[in-house]
């Protein structure tokens, strides 16, 4: 007949409590890592949303400016209409401002415009 040895209750309790300690240690190590990953995922999602909002704002401004230019053939008025449509749209709650030009990044050309194509 096969005899089974009885495991004393104290050893079983000691094993369970040591396992609980190991799980707690893993939880303490993993929680900050998981929270950091969650923050990164949320930030990347916010960037994609801002990119989509910017694309929509610029397309609306371009379409409005081209439509106004086709009807009136007045470039400054078409630019003003495009800027107005851009300002009506927001990216993360901030209006799109197309009138600001960084002179260091885009120096004025000889014709007085800020576009290299003028």
65-105 pLDDT, tens per residue? 999 999 998 988 999 999 999 999 999 999 988 876 666 66
Cα separation, 49 vs 69, in Å, equals 30
Count the domains in the chain. Answer: 1
For residue 90, the surrounding DSSP H or E stretch is strand 90-91
Residue 21 domain-assigned (yes or no): yes
Contact indicator for 98, 80 with CB cutoff of 8 Å: no
The parent domain of residue 39 ranges over 15-95
| Residue 105 resides in a domain | no
Whether 102 is covered by a domain: the verdict is no
Tell me whether residue 61 is in a domain. yes
Assigned token pair, 115: 């576009």
The reply to whether 49 falls in a domain is: yes
pLDDT of residue 103: 61
Provide the pLDDT for residue 109: 58
Distance separating alpha carbons of residues 98 and 84, to the nearest angstrom = 9
Q: pLDDT confidence of 4, banded at 50, 70, 90? A: low
pTM above threshold 0.75: no
Output 73 or 34, whichever has higher pLDDT: 34
- When pLDDT is cut at 50, 70 and 90, the band that residue 14 belongs to is low
Is residue 106 a part of any domain in this protein? no
């Amino acid at each position: 007949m096969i005899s089974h040895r009885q495991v004393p209750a104290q050893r079983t309790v000691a094993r369970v409590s040591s396992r609980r300690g190991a799980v707690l240690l893993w939880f303490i190590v993993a929680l900050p890592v998981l929270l950091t990953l969650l923050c990164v995922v949320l930030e990347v999602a916010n960037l994609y949303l801002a990119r989509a909002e910017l694309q929509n704002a610029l397309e609306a401004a371009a379409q409005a400016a081209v439509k106004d230019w086709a009807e009136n053939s007045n470039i400054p008025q078409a630019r003003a209409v495009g800027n107005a449509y851009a300002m009506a749209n927001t990216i993360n709650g901030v209006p799109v401002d197309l009138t600001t030009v960084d002179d260091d990044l885009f120096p004025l050309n000889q014709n007085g415009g800020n576009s290299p194509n003028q």
